[in-house]
Amino acid sequence: MEEFAALIDALVYTRSRNEKLRLIAEYLQNTGDPDRGWAMGALTDGLDFKAVKSSTIRNLLKERIDPVLWSLSRDFVGDTAETASLLWPDPLGDVAPPPSVSEAVEALEGMTRASVMNELPKLLDRLDPPGRYALFKLATGGMRVGVSSRLAKVAFAQAFDVSVDEVEEYWHALEPPFADLFAWAADGADPPDTANMPLFKPFMLAHPLEETVVDLAEYAAEWKWDGIRVQLVHVAGETRVYSRSGDDISATFPEMVDALDIPAVLDGELLVRGVHQGGEEGGAASFNALQQRLGRKTVSKKMLTESPAFVRLYDVLSLGGEDLRGLPWHQRRERLEDLLPRLPDSHFDLSQLVEARDFDHLAQIREGARDDAIEGLMLKRRDSLYVPGRKTGLWYKWKRDPLLIDCVLMYAQRGSGKRSSFYSDYTFGCWDGDPDEGADLLPVGKAYSGFTDEELKKLDRHVRQKTINRFGPVRETDKSLVFEVAFDSVHESKRHKSGLAMRFPRIHRIRWDKPVHEADRIEALRQLIRD
């Protein structure tokens, strides 16, 4: 556990991507099985210990130290795991040596909600503060050490000089501690046998277009839809639905599992249909409608009726057992078009190509698109193979320019991880009427991105100096700072006092110069709802 704790500590304080890769690779090379496999599971969010939650940690600490001291310390530090690891009292008498990662995992797996309050302290007493911090991160699944699942897999590939694409191919067939994966990569054993398993295949991704201008003779254009990217896999009589990150979301969208009975791997955008009054189904609804179904383990009949899912197809990776990823895009497109009549039109349709005279004409079409489910355009090189990850020059995403509105900072909260010492999560609002006539501010969104490190320091200083009230970890500030907020769309929402919800809000500019009474009103935001 000490080596794992040292790794976590180093990752927290390391910003360099290459250094993170080196640290993980070195740990994997120097650590034995199954500890390194459990560590990989933790770094890729592959572990889930149902008995241990953040509330468990809070309750344990409040039993051992003054609750007020705990609350003040947690508010100051900004991170539950770090605060708890530092405040945990030293054990009385002798304790056993620190557990290995495997021993800790075995103990955590054996805990229940009834036993965790007695069993977890026994592990914590055997560890020093860095070890306790690592154990809390391991137990709750909230690593937040600046390592994505993809980066951990790249580090694995570098550690054993294997292809990261092959690692991705095998990854989803295995579970922590990944004994077969390490046997193949580290010890030269045969690759894991995944031939007859409905496994996730790594997605091909796109680069932002930015200033690039492409030749439409070489690139095809199609709409970029505002749903969730999914992969449907039917192998050996079994169908699964995977998210962009490779998570199995079949239980959330059971109608799509039943809809595919042809051996195939399909790439597309999962959307829900808008349902008109009278029960008639329409086209794709906004992301706000889809969001009602995301993350649900069980789906009611009412939800299946009111928000039926379908997939707008982009690509076909495999058909009838034949791997098509080595074919150029235009040939895969032909195969997909031929396949479409064999699929139920209630659950599948095709993402249509966008025809334009030239690039300037395409730009006009992009800006004129008003469909609520359209994010922008995709540009795909006609001869591109389907390759995992982002490969330069093959696919581009050209999103619509964001919508902008001026809002007033209302509340701030500390961030997590390396931002735990800064107030970096901001809630902002618009005026519900004329501010000169006493109108109130209503919250319309929350953002924690879009500013530089130097701007963050200045914002943190502003929050500390302008605090007028505190609600636990949240500070209310005086109404003196305007944010220009960028967002993709806005929808009606019964969950928010303003009646509105933004899609992907982020700080576009900090308007230190703008008087708050010149910020926008709720009505201006409401007018940006697309019909």
- Burial of 302 from C-beta contacts in 10 A (0-12 / 13-18 / 19+): exposed
- Let me know: does 69 contact 83? Beta carbons within 8 Å: no
Reduced to 3 states (helix: H, G, I; strand: E, B; else coil), residue 73 is helix
What pLDDT, in 10s, does the model give residues 98-115? 999 999 999 999 999 999
Question: Residue 424's closest CA among 407, 446, 445?
Answer: 446
Residues 6+ apart with CB under 8 A from 148: none
d(CA 430, CA 437): 14
State the pTM of this model: 0.74
- Of 349, 371, 510, 485, nearest to 430 by C-alpha is 485
How much of the chain exceeds pLDDT 90, in percent? 61
Beta strands across the sheet bearing 395-399 = 207-208, 395-399, 374-381, 219-225
Which own/partner contact pairs does 381-384 have at CB distance under 8 Å and 24+ positions apart?
381/218, 381/219, 381/329, 382/218, 382/219, 382/220, 382/328, 382/329, 382/330, 383/218, 383/328, 383/329, 383/330, 384/328, 384/329
Q: The CATH number of the domain where 356 resides is what?
A: 3.30.470.30
Lowest-confidence segment of 12-26, 133-147, 243-257, 290-304 by average pLDDT? 290-304
Bridge partners, residue 428, by sequence:
409, 445
212 with 346, same domain? yes
What is the CATH number for 18? 1.10.3260.10
Does some domain include residue 84? yes
Say if residue 326's pLDDT is above 50: yes
Q: Are residues 385 and 314 in the same domain?
A: yes
Task: Give me the pLDDT at residue 506, please.
Answer: 94
Mean pLDDT of 13-25: 92
Q: Is the pLDDT of residue 373 over 80?
A: no
Specify if 60 maps to a domain: yes
Among 369, 399, 429, the domain boundary falls at 399
Q: Is residue 155 part of a domain?
A: no
Measured in degrees and rounded to the nearest 5, phi and psi for residue 263 equal: -60, 110
Tokens 């209630």, located at residue: 346
- 280-296 pLDDT, tens digit each: 455 787 776 787 788 77
Considering the domain boundaries, does residue 76 fall inside one?
A: yes
Q: Which residues constitute the domain of residue 131?
A: 2-140
Are 94 and 213 members of one domain?
Answer: no
Q: Has residue 276 got a pLDDT over 70? A: no
Same domain, 245 and 209: yes
- Residues 234, 372, single domain; the answer is yes
Q: Give the integer Cα–Cα distance in Å for 290 and 386.
A: 27
CA angle in degrees (0–180, nearest 5) for 26-30-35: 105
Measured CA to CA in angstroms, residue 152 lies from 100, 142, 174, 183, 230 at distances of 21, 15, 15, 18, 22
- Is pLDDT above 70 for 211? yes
Q: Comparing 62-76, 228-242, 326-340, which segment has the lowest mean pLDDT?
A: 62-76
Q: Is residue 497 part of a domain?
A: yes
- Residues 456, 469: one domain? yes
Q: What is the pLDDT of residue 191?
A: 92
The CATH number that applies at residue 516 is 2.40.50.140
409 and 371 share one domain: no
Which string of DSSP letters, residue by residue, matches 75-87?
Answer: HHH--HHHHHHHH
In a domain, 423, yes or no: yes
Last residue of a domain, one of 374, 399, 424: 399
Same domain, 135 and 228: no
Residue 383 and residue 434 in one domain: no
Residue 31 lies in a domain: yes
pLDDT at 318: 96
The reported pLDDT for the residue numbered 328 is 98
Domain count, the chain: 3
- Same domain flag for 265 and 345: yes
Average pLDDT, the chain: 90
Nearest CA-CA partner of 150 in 229, 232, 40: 40
Q: Which of 399, 425, 442 is the last residue of a domain?
A: 399
Residue 182 lies in a domain: no
Whether 478 and 338 share a structural domain:
no
Residues 245 and 340 in one domain: yes
Does residue 15 register a pLDDT over 90?
no
Mean pLDDT calculated for residue range 268-279: 72
Residue type, 302: K
Asked whether the predicted pLDDT for residue 200 surpasses 70, the reply is yes
